[in-house]
Structure 1
Amino acid sequence: MSIPTTRLRAATPTAPALILRPWTPEDAAGLAALGRRDDAALRRWTAFAVDDEPSAAQWLREQQQGWEQGHRYAFAVEEANPSGSPGPPAGHVVLKDIAPGAASAEVGYWTAAHARGRGIASRALHTLTDWAFTTFAPTGLTRLELLHQVDNTASCRVADKSGYPLTGIRPPWPPDYPLEGHVHVRHLAQGLG
């Protein structure tokens, strides 16, 4: 699948628009700046290992390769400022483990410290979910999973707000998941929008 030339937009009457767009090499400096901040939550809950421009460039190449190979679709999340132009990265959402004809895939996300607590993650995830089902349901996608460690209560709230009810518990899987994990699932039958 080619990288979309249009951006996905998520807006509400009381919140500024979010812009979801594929990450580009030009994002390296902003991504490195996010990685250099002392953001314990980002480091604790994600595998985000960016702390300088070379590691940011490598991470960005991996995201682009996912698009090119058709199994991982990662989007930068930006808040539009009043002029309508994008601001600094507020986060990341991703559709991963997608395969032609597969009924199930996984979604994930992270939010930068400066953007937390304002509903950005749930709005971005909702927009990604609609895009994923609209784009891939014709080839068989009917189920999206959101996984997080059981003690990540913020991710549980985002999942609930985004229409992903808790459906099960996964056993620990060290080192990535040292504790049990929550499995949240959204089905195409639950509708879009």
Structure 2
Amino acid sequence: MIIPTTLHAAPAPTASALVLRPWRVEDAAALVEVYRDPGLRRWTDTSMDCEDDGVRWVRAQERGWSAGARFGFAVLEAASTAGTRLVGNVVLKEVAPGKPSAEVGYWTAARARGRGVAPRALETLTAWALETFRADGLERLELLHQEDNPASCRVAVKCGYEFDRTLPAAPPAYPLDGHLHIRHASTR
């Protein structure tokens, strides 16, 4: 199976095009900068205080790609000057041949929230995952978020992930109840 390493999300009417590509060590500084946002830290269980933390995190993403079980993508958009800038992360995880489900996750940098970045990146990841792994038995994708995160709930629903049920808290990783959303391969 050939797995493309760069995906492109179509631009929204008022937004830049997005590029999704595997994380690189040179992303570490931008990653640490994005993680300074208390809003992001509230929804993730990752600590990112220095560039070494960023490099360790990127290396873990690289190991996931090598194992073929976790595919994390940096979400980039064209900057107004030159190059691209980091605006988010999307990930497909717990993928295995013969396993009918996998999980997706995402986060968005503070500067990119409210501009359609998360839904465009998630929809791109979803289409890629279902197309790429359908022959291996992938039938559905699951998205989990804490119950008190209405923005993630809106993104899930907008991307065709139907609310399935409320899951009980599982501290310390999930200190509050959560929502499980599911998208079936046959959806859309």
- Verify same fold: TM over 0.5: yes
Partner residue, 1:17:
17
How do 1:98-113 residues align onto structure 2 when only pairs under 5 Å count?
98-113=95-110
- Cα offset for 1:138? 1.0
Partner residue, 2:73:
75
How do 1:125-144 residues align onto structure 2 when only pairs under 5 Å count?
125-144=122-141
Whole-angstrom distance in 1 between the partners of 2:160 and 2:91: 16
For normalisation by structure 2, the TM-score amounts to 0.93
Q: Does 1:183 align with 2:184?
A: no
Partner residue, 2:44:
46
Give the letter for the 2:16 counterpart.
P
Identical counterparts, % of pairs: 56
Whole-angstrom distance in 1 between the partners of 2:80 and 2:9: 14
- Name the CA shift for 1:46/1:168 in 2 (closer, same or farther; >3 Å): same
Q: Does the Cα contact within 8 Å between 2:102 and 2:140 map onto a contact in 1?
A: yes
Give the paired residue count: 188
How do 1:22-171 residues align onto structure 2 when only pairs under 5 Å count?
22-35=22-35, 37=36, 39-81=37-79, 86-171=83-168
Whole-angstrom distance in 1 between the partners of 2:39 and 2:5: 32
Q: Does the Cα contact within 8 Å between 2:6 and 2:20 map onto a contact in 1?
A: no
- Name the CA shift for 1:125/1:115 in 2 (closer, same or farther; >3 Å): same
For normalisation by structure 1, the TM-score amounts to 0.91
Alignment gaps of 5+ in structure 1 = none
Alignment gaps of 5+ in structure 2 = none
Aligned-CA RMSD value: 1.7
Whole-angstrom distance in 2 between the partners of 1:96 and 1:2: 18
- Name the CA shift for 1:169/1:86 in 2 (closer, same or farther; >3 Å): farther
